[in-house]
Amino acid sequence: NSKLRHVEKDVLIPQIMRDRAKELCSDKVQAFTKCCQETGLLMVVKCRQENTALKDCLVGYYTDPSFYEECKAEYLKQREEYRATGIKKKRQKFTPNV
């Protein structure tokens, strides 16, 4: 049964999307974090470029229908395993095929 409840569509699947997008945009996350650490209070001004690159990367994934379907399939697989075993698996780190 692949019917989704409201909480699955609006909370659980978007959480997988956020986690995976952060992993896929990790170079931009690191660049923004490094910039913030180096500039301190001026980060709002000095890290604009890094912040924009990070936002663009994340939003690109959040708005991609095929990425949503991929994350939905991952969620349904996890849900099926949980229903079959009663054991909740920890989410594994996603490693892109490079």
Q: Which amino acid is at 31?
A: A
Q: Give the start-to-end residue ranges of the domains of the chain.
A: 6-73
Burial tier of 17 (Cβ tally within 10 Å: 0-12, 13-18, 19+): buried
Per-residue model confidence (pLDDT) at position 95 = 53
Entry pTM: 0.77
Under a CB-based contact definition with an 8 Å cutoff, are residues 43 and 36 in contact?
A: yes
pLDDT digits (tens, 9 = 90+) for 16-69: 999 999 999 999 999 999 999 998 888 888 999 999 999 999 999 999 999 999
